């Protein structure tokens, strides 16, 4: 192996050694840039940064019932990521990508109209209890850093942020007056604070913006981050700093082991805009940015639609997989119709199940409050349940190992009308118990829907040679 450090470790190249144990070796740099310049390198050779997170890989492999080496190969190909900032010490890591269970993300955070940090923390804690793998802090008002640092110091879920929002809050000045360097500084601040992945809208450059203006969309740009960067570009005349200085963004991500989540500024905000030139143009750019991230040993996932008719979802997933070379795809919904405010957790779950079946790895939940207000605790719960159902349904369709075991447990309990066992297995035991308690049947071995007409009860009897007499019971 033609590796300088391996040759030093093997004694093929002399060095001024200052420390050595079974895992690392430390030696003086031959061209020091400081009075004391010591290099510490692992004795085991790693081809990339993705190979180093041995502990995280072992945890994820056990969760996914996959061997570590197979997982390592998927990570090396860029088809699986394990977002894990080195400063997020309490993280319980999860893998996202090909051949793994579909994961869900929960958006929350403060706004100008709702600045209750305790409420947001309650949402976080409830989301974690309900099995959400990731929490994305979208705070856009108040002491955002305090909340962010609390998350990365106490929350075991994967933590994501959108630094663009925070820049406006942090600098507290007109959007057009924020400099390119200041945008980048906020990215570094979030990385230092321990967030595991960051949504950064790198793909909406001047070329994409030109196509957007020419295409005359119905809903324009509905991505908050995308709209902010587009407005900044229009007002300053400058290139998107996250695109122009993309290499610097990657350096920050690599330094802190942050996963790049390539934001889709041009995601469709209504089904009329789905799969238009703006969306596809940006996706092509994101494919190129994915390759560049891999070259810098930065883990990356790609974000996608948005609002989209059912018949376009499969094709979109396949196009993304092709253009972005199998990088994990992170989708909001997609919402399959625009007419259901108050029920958009359902429209999103329908689209999410289809998207995950055909390639999406990560579903961003949508709550009943979408398009209407900041979600409350119950909205968050409803959104999580809907997304978990979608993810699980997709895992069954994809043949993810062990996915159907959950259903098998429910089926066995239903066959013998074991209500407590059914409740224990249910995705929302609390709601299931409440529904049954609200309408108690005359006989415990039935429900108030069928009573003595219960097919399960009667078939169990007849199959065991018993007499079935519905009206005489």
Worst-scoring range by mean pLDDT, 212-216, 335-339, 349-353? 212-216
Predicted confidence at residue 315, as pLDDT, reads 97
| Predicted local confidence at residue 19, as pLDDT | 78
Assess whether pLDDT exceeds 90 at residue 321.
Answer: yes
Which CATH homologous superfamily contains domain 4-45?
Answer: HIT-like (3.30.428.10)
Closest by CA position to 296, among listed 331, 362, 246: 246
Mean pLDDT for the stretch of residues 69-92: 95
Judged against a pLDDT cut of 60, whether residue 44 lies above it is answered with: no
* % of the chain residues with pLDDT over 90: 77
Q: So what's the pLDDT on residue 324?
A: 97
Cis, bond preceding 334 (omega within 30 deg of 0): yes
425 pLDDT higher than 50: yes
CATH for the stretch 54-398: 3.20.20.540
**334 with 363: CB under 8 angstroms?**
no
Residue 126, pLDDT > 50, answer: yes
Please give the pLDDT value at position 20. 80
Task: Write down the pTM of the prediction.
Answer: 0.86
- pLDDT greater than 80 at residue 473: no
User: For residue 130, what pLDDT band results from cuts at 50, 70 and 90?
Assistant: very high
Whether residue 50 is predicted with pLDDT greater than 60 in this model: the reply is no
Is the separation of the CB atoms in 306 and 274 below 8 Å?
A: yes
For the stretch 132-167, pLDDT in tens is 999 999 998 888 999 999 999 999 999 999 999 989
Mean pLDDT computed over every residue of the chain: 92
φ and ψ of 235, to 5 deg = -75, -30
Residue 32: pLDDT band by 50, 70, 90 thresholds?
A: low
Give dist(CA 225, CA 205) in Å, integer. 13
Residue 472: the pLDDT is 63
The mean pLDDT of 224-242, rounded to a whole number, is 97
CA 340/CA 190 separation, integer angstroms: 35
Q: Which two tokens stand for residue 10?
A: 């093997």
Q: What is the pLDDT averaged over residues 197-207?
A: 96
In this structure, of 34-43, 394-403, 406-415, the range with the lowest mean pLDDT score is 34-43
Same CATH topology for 4-45 and 54-398?
no
- Domain coordinates of the chain in residue numbers? 4-45, 54-398, 403-463
C-beta of residue 100 within 8 angstroms of C-beta of residue 70: no
Compute the average pLDDT of residues 243-269: 97
Q: How large is the C-alpha radius of gyration of the chain?
A: 25
| pLDDT value of position 266 | 96
What pLDDT does 370 receive? 95
pLDDT more than 70, % of the chain: 94
Residue 339 has pLDDT above 70, yes or no: yes
The CA-atom distances, in angstroms, between 229 and each of 138, 161, 468 are: 16, 16, 70
Least confident of 146-150, 265-269, 328-332, 438-442: 438-442
């Amino acid at each position: 192996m033609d590796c300088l450090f391996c040759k030093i470790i093997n004694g093929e190249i002399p060095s001024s050694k200052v420390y050595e144990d079974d895992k690392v070796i430390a030696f003086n740099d031959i061209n020091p840039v400081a009075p004391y310049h010591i290099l510490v390198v692992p004795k085991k050779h790693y081809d990339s940064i993705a190979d180093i997170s041995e502990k995280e890989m072992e945890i994820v492999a056990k969760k996914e019932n996959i061997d570590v080496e197979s997982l390592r190969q998927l990570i090396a190909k860029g088809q699986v990521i394990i977002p894990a900032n080195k400063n997020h010490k309490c993280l319980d890591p999860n893998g996202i990508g090909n051949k793994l269970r579909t994961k869900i993300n929960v958006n929350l955070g403060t706004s100008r109209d709702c600045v209750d940090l305790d409420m947001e923390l309650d949402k976080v804690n409830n989301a974690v209890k309900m099995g959400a793998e990731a929490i994305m802090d979208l705070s856009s008002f108040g002491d955002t850093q305090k909340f962010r640092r609390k998350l990365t110091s106490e929350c075991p879920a994967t933590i994501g942020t959108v630094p663009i929002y925070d820049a406006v809050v942090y600098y507290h000045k007109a959007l057009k007056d924020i400099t390119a360097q200041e945008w980048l500084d906020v990215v570094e601040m979030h990385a230092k604070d321990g967030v595991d992945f960051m949504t950064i809208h790198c793909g909406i450059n001047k070329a994409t913006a030109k196509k957007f203006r020419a295409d005359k969309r119905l809903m324009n740009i509905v991505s908050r981050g995308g709209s902010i960067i587009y407005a900044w570009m229009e007002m300053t005349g400058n290139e998107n700093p996250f695109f122009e200085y993309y290499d610097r963004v990657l350096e920050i991500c690599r330094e802190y082991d942050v996963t790049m989540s390539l934001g889709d500024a041009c995601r469709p905000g209504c089904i009329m805009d789905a799969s238009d030139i703006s969306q596809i143009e940006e996706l092509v750019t994101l494919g190129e940015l994915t390759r560049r991230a891999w070259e810098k040993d930065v883990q990356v996932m790609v974000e996608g639609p948005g609002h989209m008719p059912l018949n376009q979802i499969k094709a979109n997933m396949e196009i993304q997989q092709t253009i972005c070379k199998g990088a994990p795809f992170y989708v909001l919904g997609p919402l399959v119709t625009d007419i259901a405010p108050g029920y958009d957790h359902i429209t999103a779950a329908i689209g999410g199940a289809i998207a995950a079946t055909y390639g999406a790895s990560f579903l961003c939940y949508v709550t009943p409050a979408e398009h209407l207000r900041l979600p409350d605790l119950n909205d968050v719960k409803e959104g999580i349940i809907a997304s978990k159902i979608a993810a699980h349904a997709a895992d069954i369709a994809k043949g993810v190992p062990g996915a159907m075991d959950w259903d098998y447990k429910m089926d066995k309990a239903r066959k013998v009308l074991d209500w407590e066992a059914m409740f224990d297995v249910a995705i929302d035991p609390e709601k299931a118990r409440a529904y049954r308690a609200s309408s108690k049947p005359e006989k415990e071995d039935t429900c108030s829907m069928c009573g003595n007409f219960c097919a399960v009860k009667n078939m169990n009897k007849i199959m065991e040679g018993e007499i079935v007499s519905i009206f005489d019971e």
